[in-house]
Structure 1
Amino acid sequence: MHLPAALINSLQNAKGFSKEAFEQEHALSGRITSIRTNPFKWLQSSPPLTTYHLPLPVHPLPVSSPIPWCAAGHYLSARPSFTHDPLFHAGCYYVQEASSMFVEQIIKAVYPDHATTKYKVLDLCAAPGGKTTHLSALFPESLIVANEVIKPRAGILTENMVKWGKGNVVVTSNDAADFKALQGYFDMIVADAPCSGSGMFRKDPDAIEEWSLQNVQLCSKRQQRIIHDSWPALKENGIFIYATCSYSMEEDEAILDWIAEAFEVETIPVPGATGWGVVETVSDQKHMYGYRFYPDKIKGEGFFIACMRKKEAVGEQIPKPKKLIIASKQEQKAIAPFLTDPEQFELVRSNDEIKVLKKCDMEDLALLFSALYIKKLGIKAGRVMRDELIPAHDLALSTIVTLNLEAIDADSETALDYLRKKDIPAGNAARGWNVVRFMGCNLGWIKVLSNRVNNYYPSPFRILKH
Structure 2
Amino acid sequence: MIISPSIYRAFENAPGFDADAFCGVHASGEQISSIRINPAKLNDLSDLGFSVESPVPWCKSGWYLEERPFYTFDPLLHAGAYYVQEASSMFLEQALKQTLDCSAPLRVLDLCAAPGGKSTHIQSVLSPDSVLVCNEVIRSRAAILEENITKWGGANVIVTNNDPRDFSRLTGLFDAMVVDAPCSGSGMFRKDASAAENWSADLVTLCSQRQQRIIADIWPSLKEDGILIYATCSYSIEEDEMIADFIMEELGAESFPLSIDSNWNIVISNSPKYNATGYRFYPDKLKGEGFFLAVFKKTSGTEKSSKKSVRPKWETVPKINYKVLERWLSVKGMRFISINDSILALTEQMEETLVQLQSLYIKRAGITMGKIAGKELIPDHSLALSTLVSPHLSSIELDRDLALQYLRKEEIRVGDIPKGWTIACYKNHPLGWIKVLPNRTNNYYPKEWRILKPA
TM-based fold match above 0.5: yes
State the alpha-carbon separation in 1 of the partners of residues 136 and 47 from structure 2: 34
State the alpha-carbon separation in 2 of the partners of residues 291 and 359 from structure 1: 37
State the alpha-carbon separation in 2 of the partners of residues 78 and 198 from structure 1: 24
Which among 368, 371, 377 is matched to residue 389 of structure 1? 377
Does structure 1 conserve the Cα–Cα contact (< 8 Å) formed by 2:47 and 2:427?
Answer: no
Partner of 1:100: 89
State the alpha-carbon separation in 2 of the partners of residues 188 and 86 from structure 1: 34
Output one character per residue of 1:287-324: Cα deviation in whole Å (capped at 9) or x when no partner.
00000000000100000000010101221116744413
Partner of 2:105: 118
Output one character per residue of 1:60-99: Cα deviation in whole Å (capped at 9) or x when no partner.
x131110000000000111101111111100000110000
Partner of 1:350: 339
1:21 aligns with 2:8: no
1:12 aligns with 2:12: yes
What is the DSSP-based 3-state SS (H/G/I as helix, E as strand, rest coil) of the residue aligned with 1:105? helix
* Aligned-partner residue type, residue 25 of structure 2: E
Does structure 1 conserve the Cα–Cα contact (< 8 Å) formed by 2:279 and 2:294?
Answer: yes
Partner of 2:356: 367
What is the DSSP-based 3-state SS (H/G/I as helix, E as strand, rest coil) of the residue aligned with 1:259? helix
Which among 131, 142, 153 is matched to residue 118 of structure 2? 131
What are structure 1's unaligned runs of at least 5 residues?
Answer: 55-60
1:40 aligns with 2:58: no
State the alpha-carbon separation in 1 of the partners of residues 25 and 375 from structure 2: 62
Runs of 4+ in 1 over 3 A off after TM superposition: 318-322
Deviation at 1:231, TM superposition (A): 0.6
Output one character per residue of 1:32-68: Cα deviation in whole Å (capped at 9) or x when no partner.
111000011013xxx3x2x3353xxxxxx13111000
1:52 aligns with 2:40: no
1:133-282 superposed matches below 5 A: 133-141=120-128, 142-282=130-270
What is the DSSP-based 3-state SS (H/G/I as helix, E as strand, rest coil) of the residue aligned with 1:6? helix
Deviation at 1:329, TM superposition (A): 3.8
CA shift in 2, pair 1:90/1:288, >3 Å: same
Does structure 1 conserve the Cα–Cα contact (< 8 Å) formed by 2:48 and 2:76?
Answer: no
Output one character per residue of 1:149-201: Cα deviation in whole Å (capped at 9) or x when no partner.
00000000000000000011100011111111111111101000000000001
State the alpha-carbon separation in 2 of the partners of residues 381 and 318 from structure 1: 33
What is the DSSP-based 3-state SS (H/G/I as helix, E as strand, rest coil) of the residue aligned with 1:121? strand
Deviation at 1:450, TM superposition (A): 0.7
Does structure 2 conserve the Cα–Cα contact (< 8 Å) formed by 1:273 and 1:280?
Answer: no
Aligned residues with identical type, % of pairs: 49
Partner of 1:58: none
Output one character per residue of 1:259-290: Cα deviation in whole Å (capped at 9) or x when no partner.
11102111111112433000000011100000
State the alpha-carbon separation in 2 of the partners of residues 464 and 186 from structure 1: 40
State the alpha-carbon separation in 2 of the partners of residues 352 and 420 from structure 1: 28
Partner of 1:420: 408
CA shift in 2, pair 1:405/1:74, >3 Å: same
What is the DSSP-based 3-state SS (H/G/I as helix, E as strand, rest coil) of the residue aligned with 1:338? coil
Output one character per residue of 1:209-229: Cα deviation in whole Å (capped at 9) or x when no partner.
110000000000000000110
State the alpha-carbon separation in 1 of the partners of residues 133 and 320 from structure 2: 31
State the alpha-carbon separation in 1 of the partners of residues 350 and 139 from structure 2: 26
Deviation at 1:109, TM superposition (A): 1.2
State the alpha-carbon separation in 1 of the partners of residues 278 and 7 from structure 2: 20
Does structure 2 conserve the Cα–Cα contact (< 8 Å) formed by 1:182 and 1:319?
Answer: no
Q: How many residues align?
A: 451
* Aligned-partner residue type, residue 252 of structure 1: D
What is the DSSP-based 3-state SS (H/G/I as helix, E as strand, rest coil) of the residue aligned with 1:404? coil
State the alpha-carbon separation in 2 of the partners of residues 7 and 274 from structure 1: 29
Partner of 1:450: 438
What is the DSSP-based 3-state SS (H/G/I as helix, E as strand, rest coil) of the residue aligned with 2:405? helix
1:304-383 superposed matches below 5 A: 304-317=292-305, 320=308, 321-323=310-312, 324-342=314-332, 344-368=333-357, 370-383=358-371
* Aligned-partner residue type, residue 52 of structure 1: D
CA shift in 2, pair 1:53/1:221, >3 Å: closer
